[in-house]
């Protein structure tokens, strides 16, 4: 065995890097797709550069602006089409060939695999960006564009590339079932294709909008309004990808539940930082109501999970009864998922009413406060109905899918049937009545701001009843966690 | 400490390397693994045999931490694969029945990637990759594309990948499937070397003659249940309650057959052309007495022997051959 092994500087640099990052870059650099993309990028640079040269100095900032739009369009193709699609193909190949299982036997966790792919995408994008660097500098020198605009677009391009890659990695990871393999492929191809096409077509207009925002000093708001949902999508799709790569018996719920709570709380913070404080009594409840609509998706998944703890999760339950009790709403299982939904709803309702007090020292507007309360009550009502529905189905992944499809169907049917009935057989859709109680949109639209509306009372009663019926499931879920904690304590002894 | 440091020597620790206790795995109503228990020691090669769909791959995947049981326990080197999967993964090298290396990587880059993934750093990583490449006979193919190897070389690459983190227990699912006889013999030699270096090897195969030549023991399963487990000698003894006896004689076939049919403990007498074989359920003394009675009855016996019980015989006797 030779001990004369010397590491080159490059090897030392890469020694501690994520293994997936190193391999993806190695593979990408020796692939035909990379060579083709590189050739096209060089061709695009030449075309744009020659166009600028041909236009001559008299064209001034007009040609500078056109060159900037052209450069951004070329970068959009790389950031939103080529790099994410390569990540999709690589993940899909690993999942379909079973290579992913070999990776999971190593020190790499599903999260590390996804991170490696995102870092590889970022590295590839930065590589291409460095190619286009001189062209971007040229557009600045031609006075077609200023530095803040360039920085704004580059930041969004990087974030967009990561975001699109995380979504395609999740789609690639979802390709495990041979029966549904075509669907992720179609979604990735069509989604990236339309997104890139839309960006290329609208690039000139986007440029003008951003310039105006920079001039008017609104760039912070626009940047945060675009980047926060992008970061949330990035986190969510990375978690989805990690979940697809994990065994169904692993804990795949806790991180989603924590993300929902953090997103709700972080959203209030973002609203506080970006809106004038005198608007707090309107903005706070409005944000809370919007969050109820978005976070219902998390509740839908939480309450329809299989009730029992898997053997692996049982080994992860804290030994201390108090810690186990606190952890219970965040552990997998539908009953515990409903407890989590109650926590989330309480935070949402409290936020809607306490946020204006905290920021403005005023109470929430009556209408806004009631709409937020109403929508969180709907989250609880449908969460409890989802739990009751799932509890009546057998413990299998197919039944979980069925419950997740039936609950939105119930929402759609409960919402549309009374409306259609009123339109066809009644006086028309003009007023609210008890038949509309399952319809969150119509109920919120028709809420009466002056006195406590009957809809809110009826909804409160209905949600309370549904929760009451689901109490055994919640108690059972928490008791199971406490039993697992006890088992772990006795095993440790 | 390099990977090859453990070759060739046999460690002599006494505790079991692999212990499987009442392992159960259900898929809906189907019980794929049913209350399965067995154990094996360091440095042993154990064959894991059973008909298609018997639950071999499911069991191996559970041991490799790729699947989880609904009940029971499995320990590698004294630690539970269920409670402490990270520790188990560090001790286990799993070679699955399917393997597709990455495109656009050569052999050495492929192994280097897995060495990185197993957390090997710096010189240790480079030395380890070199060692496993050399051990698996891949040195002259190291710059070939990993996807461009023959089936035999591909299996060597798969084995090299499995060995890169120097595991104590190798779980090999049908590693010899599709290999030509030459490649199979070479592969068997590699396994022997690994076993003599103290590694435990649990290997499933349908080529029973292969296993019988290299295994210290076997576990036979069918419909998820254990039918037999232990060293070949132990199982042979267990299944030989009904031993097969072969007799070569110079007498008349019909009268010799009739003689044996009238003897105690004898069943299923058959044969022609001066040869008779039958099942015998008595002990060794009864068998000696039978031979004496046959000679005493005037049968000219040229050969009287108990047939050797090989792995195929064990397999056929312990399994029922029902649809899985």
pLDDT in tens, B250-265: 988 889 999 999 999 8
Which tokens hold the place of B245? 């006896």
Distance from CA of B190 to the nearest CA of A (A): 19
Report the pLDDT value the prediction gives residue B12, as an integer from 0 to 100: 42
Asked if A27 and B64 come within 8 Å (Cβ–Cβ), the reply is no
Distances (CA, A) of B269 to B244, B263, B264, B279: 10, 11, 12, 7
Angle between helices A83-97 and A19-29 (to 10 degrees): 110
Q: Which of B4, B66, B100 sits opposite A97 (nearest CB)?
A: B100
Q: Which of B4, B66, B122 sits opposite A1 (nearest CB)?
A: B4
Report the pLDDT value the prediction gives residue A331, as an integer from 0 to 100: 96
Mutation target among A97, A106, A116 for the B interface, most CBs of B within 10 A: A106
Distance from CA of B158 to the nearest CA of A (A): 10
**A380 near A471, Cβ under 8 Å?**
no
Asked if B121 and A105 come within 8 Å (Cβ–Cβ), the reply is no
The CA distance from A5 to A60, in Å, is 57
Helix (H) or strand (E) holding B176: none
- Work out the percent of chain B whose per-residue pLDDT is above 70: 90
**Does the structure show a pLDDT above 50 at B183?**
yes
B6-11 contact pairs (CB < 8 A, 24+): B6/B166, B6/B197, B6/B198, B6/B199, B7/B135, B7/B193, B7/B194, B7/B197, B8/B193, B8/B196, B8/B197, B9/B196, B9/B197, B9/B198, B10/B43, B10/B196, B10/B197, B10/B198, B11/B42, B11/B43, B11/B198
Asked if B123 and A5 come within 8 Å (Cβ–Cβ), the reply is yes
Residue of B nearest to A397 (CA): B28
- Give Cβ neighbours of residue A408 (< 8 Å, ≥ 6 apart): A300
Helix (H) or strand (E) holding B245: strand B243-249
Report the pLDDT value the prediction gives residue A359, as an integer from 0 to 100: 79
Instruction: Transcribe A402-442 into DSSP letters.
Output: HHHHHHHHHHHHHHHHHHHHHHHHSS-S-S--GGGTT-HHH
Report the pLDDT value the prediction gives residue A28, as an integer from 0 to 100: 87
Enter the pTM of the model.
Answer: 0.82
Asked if B65 and A1 come within 8 Å (Cβ–Cβ), the reply is no
**Does the structure show a pLDDT above 80 at B232?**
no
Residue of B nearest to A308 (CA): B70
Residue A210's nearest CA partner among A201, A196, A200, A222 is A222
Q: Which of A23, A105, A249 sits opposite B113 (nearest CB)?
A: A23
Report the pLDDT value the prediction gives residue A57, as an integer from 0 to 100: 67
**Does the structure show a pLDDT above 70 at B321?**
no
Backbone angles phi, psi at B3, to 5 degrees: -60, -40
Report the pLDDT value the prediction gives residue B4, as an integer from 0 to 100: 45
Confidence of residue B176 (pLDDT cuts 50, 70, 90): confident
Query: Interface pTM (ipTM) of the complex?
Result: 0.80
Helix (H, G, I), strand (E, B) or coil at B53: coil
**Does the structure show a pLDDT above 80 at B315?**
no
Distance from CA of B90 to the nearest CA of A (A): 8
Q: What does CATH list as the number for B3-236?
A: 3.40.50.300
A228-233 contact pairs (CB < 8 A, 24+): A228/A270, A230/A159, A230/A160, A230/A163, A231/A159, A232/A263, A233/A163, A233/A166, A233/A167
Which tokens hold the place of A115? 């991170």
Mutation target among B117, B127, B132, B139 for the A interface, most CBs of A within 10 A: B117
Digits of tens for pLDDT over chain A (493 positions)? 444 566 677 777 788 889 999 999 988 888 888 888 888 888 888 888 888 777 776 666 677 788 888 888 889 999 999 999 999 999 999 999 889 999 999 999 999 999 999 999 999 999 989 888 888 887 777 777 788 888 888 998 999 999 999 999 999 999 887 778 899 999 999 999 999 999 999 888 888 888 888 888 887 778 888 888 899 899 999 999 999 998 878 889 999 999 999 999 998 888 888 888 888 888 888 999 999 999 999 999 999 999 889 888 988 899 999 999 999 999 999 999 999 999 999 999 999 888 888 877 777 677 788 889 889 999 999 999 999 999 998 877 788 889 999 999 998 998 888 888 888 887 777 777 788 888 888 888 777 555 567 788 888 999 999 999 999 999 999 999 999 999 989 877 7
Report the pLDDT value the prediction gives residue B8, as an integer from 0 to 100: 46
A463-471 contact pairs (CB < 8 A, 24+): A463/A377, A463/A378, A463/A380, A463/A381, A463/A384, A466/A380, A466/A381, A466/A384, A466/A385, A466/A388, A467/A338, A467/A342, A467/A380, A467/A384, A469/A384, A469/A388, A470/A335, A470/A338, A470/A384, A470/A387, A470/A388, A470/A391
- Give Cβ neighbours of residue A212 (< 8 Å, ≥ 6 apart): none
Helix (H, G, I), strand (E, B) or coil at B72: strand
Distances (CA, A) of A354 to A285, A295, A346: 9, 19, 12
pLDDT per position as a tens digit, B192-201: 888 888 899 9
The CA distance from A413 to A401, in Å, is 18
Helix (H) or strand (E) holding B15: none
Report the pLDDT value the prediction gives residue A6, as an integer from 0 to 100: 66
The CA distance from A298 to A283, in Å, is 23
Report the pLDDT value the prediction gives residue A254, as an integer from 0 to 100: 94
Which chain A residues are Cβ-neighbours of B130 within 8 angstroms? Answer: 2, 5
Distance from CA of B236 to the nearest CA of A (A): 36
Which chain B residues are Cβ-neighbours of A30 within 8 angstroms? Answer: 104-105
Backbone angles phi, psi at B29, to 5 degrees: -85, -15
How is chain B split into domains, by residue range?
Answer: 3-236, 241-308
- Work out the percent of chain B whose per-residue pLDDT is above 90: 37
pLDDT per position as a tens digit, B99-144: 888 888 999 999 999 999 999 988 889 999 999 999 988 989 989 9
Residues of A within an 8 Å Cβ radius of B: 1-3, 5, 7, 12, 15-16, 19-20, 22-23, 26-27, 30-31, 93, 97-99, 101-108, 247, 249, 310-312, 315, 396
Q: What does CATH list as the number for B241-308?
A: 3.30.70.100
Sign of the dihedral defined by the CA atoms of residues A105, A110, A113, A115, in that order: negative
Residue A273's nearest CA partner among A208, A227, A340, A214 is A227
- Give Cβ neighbours of residue A182 (< 8 Å, ≥ 6 apart): none
Kindly state the average pLDDT of the residues B170-180: 86
Asked if B64 and A30 come within 8 Å (Cβ–Cβ), the reply is no
Instruction: Transcribe A115-153 into DSSP letters.
Output: HHHHHHHHHHHHHHHHHHHHHHHHHHHTTSS-HHHHHHH
Report the pLDDT value the prediction gives residue A312, as an integer from 0 to 100: 84
Which chain A residues are Cβ-neighbours of B123 within 8 angstroms? Answer: 3, 5, 7
Residue A423: count other Cβ atoms within 10 Å of its Cβ. Answer: 11
DSSP letter for B200, please: E
Asked if A23 and B89 come within 8 Å (Cβ–Cβ), the reply is no
């Amino acid at each position: 065995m030779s001990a004369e092994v010397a590491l080159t500087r490059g090897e030392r640099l890469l020694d501690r890097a994520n293994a997936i990052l190193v391999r993806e870059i190695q593979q990408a650099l020796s692939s035909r797709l990379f060579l083709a993309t590189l050739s096209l990028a060089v061709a695009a640079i030449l075309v744009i550069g020659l166009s600028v040269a041909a236009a001559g100095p008299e064209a001034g900032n007009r040609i500078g602006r056109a060159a900037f739009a052209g450069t951004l369009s070329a970068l959009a193709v790389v950031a939103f089409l080529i790099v994410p699609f390569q990540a999709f193909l690589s993940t899909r190949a690993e999942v379909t060939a079973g290579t992913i299982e070999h990776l999971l036997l190593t020190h790499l966790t599903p999260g590390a695999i996804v991170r490696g792919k995102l870092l590889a995408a970022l590295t590839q994008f930065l590589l291409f960006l460095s190619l286009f660097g001189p062209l971007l500098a040229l557009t600045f020198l031609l006075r077609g564009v200023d530095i803040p605009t360039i920085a704004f677009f580059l930041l969004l391009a990087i974030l967009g590339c990561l975001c699109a890659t995380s979504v395609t990695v999740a789609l690639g990871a979802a390709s495990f079932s041979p029966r549904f393999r075509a669907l992720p492929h179609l979604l990735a191809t069509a989604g990236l294709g339309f997104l890139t096409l839309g960006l290329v077509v609208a690039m000139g207009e986007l440029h003008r909008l951003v310039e105006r925002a920079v001039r008017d000093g609104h760039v912070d708001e626009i940047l945060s309004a675009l980047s926060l949902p992008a970061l949330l999508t990035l986190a969510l799709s990375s978690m989805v990808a990690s979940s697809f790569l994990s065994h169904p018996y692993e804990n795949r719920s806790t991180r989603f539940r924590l993300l929902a709570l953090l997103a709700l709380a972080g959203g209030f913070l973002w609203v506080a930082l970006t809106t004038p404080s005198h608007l707090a009594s309107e903005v706070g409840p409005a944000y809370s109501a919007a969050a109820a609509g978005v976070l219902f998706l998390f509740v839908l998944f939480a309450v329809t999970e299989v009730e029992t703890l898997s053997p692996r999760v049982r080994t992860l339950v804290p030994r201390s009864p108090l810690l186990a009790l606190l952890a219970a709403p965040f552990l997998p299982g539908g009953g515990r998922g409903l407890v989590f939904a109650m926590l989330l709803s309480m935070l949402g309702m409290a936020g809607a009413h306490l946020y204006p007090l905290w920021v403005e020292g005023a109470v929430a507007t009556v209408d806004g406060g009631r709409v937020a309360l109403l929508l969180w009550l709907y989250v609880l009502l449908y969460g409890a109905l989802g739990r009751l529905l799932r509890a009546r189905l057998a413990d299998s992944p197919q039944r979980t899918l069925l419950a997740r499809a039936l609950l939105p169907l119930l929402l759609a049917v409960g919402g549309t049937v009374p409306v259609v009935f009123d339109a066809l057989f009644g006086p028309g859709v003009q007023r609210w009545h008890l038949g509309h109680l399952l319809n969150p949109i119509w109920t919120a639209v028709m809420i009466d701001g002056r006195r406590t509306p009957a809809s809110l009372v009826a909804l409160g009663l209905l949600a309370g009843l549904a929760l009451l019926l689901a109490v055994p499931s919640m108690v059972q879920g928490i008791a199971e966690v406490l039993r697992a904690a006890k088992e772990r304590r006795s095993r440790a002894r | 400490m390099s990977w090859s440091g453990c070759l060739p020597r046999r460690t002599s620790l006494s505790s079991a390397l692999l212990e499987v206790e009442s392992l159960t795995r259900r898929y809906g109503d189907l019980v794929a693994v049913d209350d399965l228990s067995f154990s094996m020691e360091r440095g042993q090669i154990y064959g894991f045999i059973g008909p298609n769909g018997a639950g071999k791959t499911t069991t191996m995947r559970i041991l490799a931490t790729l699947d989880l049981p609904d009940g029971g326990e499995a320990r590698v080197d004294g630690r539970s694969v269920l409670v402490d999967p990270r520790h188990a993964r560090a001790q286990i090298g799993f070679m699955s029945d399917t393997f597709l290396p990455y495109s656009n990587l050569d052999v050495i880059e492929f192994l280097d990637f897995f060495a990185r993934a197993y957390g090997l750093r710096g010189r240790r990583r480079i030395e380890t990759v070199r060692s496993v490449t050399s051990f698996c006979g891949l040195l002259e193919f190291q710059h070939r594309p990993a996807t461009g190897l023959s089936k035999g070389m591909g299996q060597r690459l798969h084995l090299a990948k499995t060995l890169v983190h120097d595991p104590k227990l190798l779980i090999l699912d049908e590693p010899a499937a599709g290999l030509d006889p030459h490649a199979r013999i070479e592969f068997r030699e590699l396994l022997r070397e690994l076993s003599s270096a103290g590694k435990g090897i649990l290997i499933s195969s349908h080529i029973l003659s292969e296993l019988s030549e290299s295994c210290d023991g076997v576990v036979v399963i069918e419909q998820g249940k254990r039918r037999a487990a232990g060293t070949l000698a132990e199982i042979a003894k267990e299944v030989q309650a009904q031993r097969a006896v072969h007799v070569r004689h110079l007498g008349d076939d019909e009268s010799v057959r009739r003689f044996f049919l009238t003897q105690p403990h004898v069943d299923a007498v058959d044969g022609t052309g001066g040869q008779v074989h039958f099942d015998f359920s008595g002990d060794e003394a009864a068998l000696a007495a039978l031979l004496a009675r046959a000679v005493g009855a005037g049968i000219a016996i040229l050969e009287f022997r108990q047939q050797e019980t090989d792995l195929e015989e064990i397999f056929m006797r312990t399994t029922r051959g029902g649809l899985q």
